[in-house]
Amino acid sequence: MHQPEDLDAVRASYDRVANTYARMVPALLGKDPWQRAALNAFAEEVGGLGPVLDVGCGPGHVSAHLAARGLEVRGVDLSPQMVEHARRAHPHLDFRVASATALDLTPASLGGVLGWWSLFNLPRDVLPDVLAGFAQALVPGGRVLIATHVGEEDVLRREAYGGIPVTWTTHRWLPDQLTDLLEGAGLEVTAEVRFPATDQQSPAVVLAACRPGGTTARQQ
């Protein structure tokens, strides 16, 4: 799979913000019932289908949230510093350093794949192949859940999380564009939740999709 040209810069940037990110971001999940509801619905859908991979797991708080709901979860992140935070905070879970563009996933091996605000750094010509890899890794009936920023223009970031210097591009997508990409990867979109802009966050969307075939745990 084609590797983004700015991969090293993005990795270094997330290493620099890891300490602040690990202090700030996990607590936000506890304050947002709608985001928790989306994750809980995902957990209900994939329960019994197989292991879940949290791609771009950061400090591991979302992996831990899903594991507490009975899922077998492992996380990967581009940033070694993020993975170190995840391992310290949640030593009972499996976290490894890996890029979303180099996962080498076994076909039909996963019940679910999560891309929770972790795919927006992928260039527009790279994301379709990443989503296709997710789809191939799912068992029939398996689920993908992605959350990302909404917009028509990309944003070049030079600082983040309290003014820490970073170098990355936030690639924003319209929901219909993401739906087309998921369907192009061979998935069926099953749910969409939109979040308006707030003082802390730009507009966002959560999309759920499944690999056709099979039955969900809820139907069994």
In tens, the pLDDT along 60-94 reads 999 999 999 999 999 999 999 999 999 999 999 99
DSSP 58-75: TTSHHHHHHHTTT--EEE
Helix (H) or strand (E) holding 168: strand 164-170
User: What's residue 202's pLDDT?
Assistant: 86
User: What's residue 111's pLDDT?
Assistant: 98
Give the integer Cα–Cα distance in Å for 73 and 47.
11
**Half-sphere exposure in the Cβ direction for 215 (13 Å, CA):** 4
The token pair that represents 58 in the structure block = 């950061």
Write down the mean pLDDT value for the chain.
Answer: 94
Residue linked to tokens 């010509």? 125
Structure confidence at residue 219 as a pLDDT band (50, 70, 90): very low
Query: How, if at all, do strands 110-116 and 164-170 pair?
Result: unpaired
Give the integer Cα–Cα distance in Å for 76 and 63.
10
Helix (H, G, I), strand (E, B) or coil at 185: coil
pLDDT at 150 over 80: yes
Q: What is the pLDDT of residues 96-124, one digit of tens each?
A: 999 999 999 999 999 999 999 999 999 99
Structural domains in the chain, CATH included, are 7-219 (3.40.50.150)
Structure confidence at residue 218 as a pLDDT band (50, 70, 90): very low
Q: What percent of the chain has pLDDT over 70?
A: 96
